[in-house]
Structure formats: C-alpha cells, structure tokens
A and B are shown apart, each in its own frame.
Chain A
C-alpha cells in the first residue's frame, strides 16, 4: 500500500474519485460474474421459459453463499495484510 500512503495531498482528491469509480465498476462486474457463475452451475435444462422451483432456490442459494464467502475472504485478506504490515514494521524497527 505504499503507493496509496505516499500520495501527495493535491492528487488525493482525484485518487479518491478514481477509487469510487473503480468501486462502482467493480461491483457491476461482480454482479455479472455472479449471475454467470450461478446460472452455469444451477441451470441445465431448457424445457420451459421460466426457472423451476429447484433452479430458483439453487440460484438464490448460490448467490447468497458467494456473497458470504466473499465477505469471509475479505476478512481473512485484511487480517493477513495487517499481520504482514505489522511484521514488516517490527522488522524495520528491529533493524534500526
């Protein structure tokens, strides 16, 4: 995260704006990917025009499980980053 920490103040505003745009784009991309993933794993027959009961519950469960897993992955990722920062800061402190 060095690039983010060492930004001079006059570009920070633009960076935050870029960040928001990136976030918006990314949530839409995630939505599309999620739909594709759940469709591929749940829907396999095309006998009728609408989803049957099994397919509906499968798609809903798939989406909710993916979101829960993403939450969990995000939590572990942030913990890992924090631990890495702490370890490196200790190493820097010990080096001095």
Chain B
C-alpha cells in the first residue's frame, strides 16, 4: 500500500549540496511517508477519533484543525508528526539495541523489540492525549465558573 520506496537506494532525492553520507538516507522519513499516504487518505472523510487526538495535541490553541489558519495548522501537524517519529525512533533505539554495536545488522530479537516498542509508544501517546484533553476540559470548566462568579459579583 505505497511503501515500495523503502530501502537504501533512493535516487530521486536531490544530492547537490548535501553531505555524502546523507545521499542514501532511505525515504522512510515521516514527511515522505505522509506524501505517499495522502492520495490514499484523501478519500477518507474527517474522523472523530482523529479529531479527539488532534484536539488533545493542540490543547488550548485551537478547537478544529481547519480553523483560522489552515497552513499553520497543517505545518504544525506535520511538525508534530516529525517530532513524534524522531522521539519514537530514538527511544526505541535506546531501549532495544545493545550497546556493543558489533554487527551492522539488527538481530531478530532487536527487530521484534522495535515492533513492540512502536506499538507501545503509540498506545502511550493516545493515553497521554486523553489525559491531557480531560485536564484541558477541566481547566476550561474551572475558568468558566470563575468568570461567571466574577460576573455575578461584579453585577451587584
């Protein structure tokens, strides 16, 4: 489903001006993945569950992604996914690979460890998102009550 360009040989990236060691970085960078994905996900309509996750990421900034500035929202969303991917890769590498680095290839145990690490990380992210959203809602409710109380006191 559009993952065929994984692998070390990717000759479509521009190589001018990049250090030599970067020329063969595979196209598994998150932004590449999402470009490949766009055509398949463009048919899927807005999703409520995604919106909950999105709201929990955006917190108090904006309620809906297609808000005042869609370019900012899209750029921020892409940055968020990039950070997520980088942090996830770093954490799983730290937790799953041995320090000796004797072999250039991953061992079987390390590979299955990284698969599990990814799914646990994403699950943890969802749970944290839910907790954050609840905290935001509670805070918004508290602020509303405070404002009402001030209005009631100020009215008299």
- Report A's interface with B, CB cutoff 8 A: 1-8, 11, 14-15, 18-19, 22-23, 26-31, 33, 37-38, 41-42, 57-62, 64-78, 80-82, 84-85, 87-89, 91-92
A15-B75, A71-B6, A73-B92 known; A42+B101 contact, CB < 8 A = yes
- Report B's interface with A, CB cutoff 8 A: 1, 3, 6, 18-19, 21-22, 25-26, 28-35, 37-38, 40-42, 44-51, 54, 65-66, 70-71, 73-79, 82, 85-86, 88-90, 92-93, 96-97, 99-106, 110-111, 114-115, 117-119, 122
* B73 CB contact (under 8 Å) in A3, A18, A38, A58: A3
The answer to whether B49 and A2 touch across the interface, beta carbons within 8 angstroms, is no
Which chain A residue has the least Cβ–Cβ distance from B104? Answer: A64
Give how many A-B residue pairs fall within 8 Å (CB-CB).
187
Complex interface: chain B residues within 8 A of A4 (CB): 34, 38, 74, 77-78
The answer to whether B44 and A85 touch across the interface, beta carbons within 8 angstroms, is yes
Q: Separation in Å of the A83 CB from the closest CB of chain B?
A: 10
The answer to whether A65 and B104 touch across the interface, beta carbons within 8 angstroms, is yes
Q: A27-B25, A59-B101 are in contact. List 5 more A-B contacts (CB 8 A).
A: A68-B106, A71-B26, A73-B85, A88-B44, A91-B49
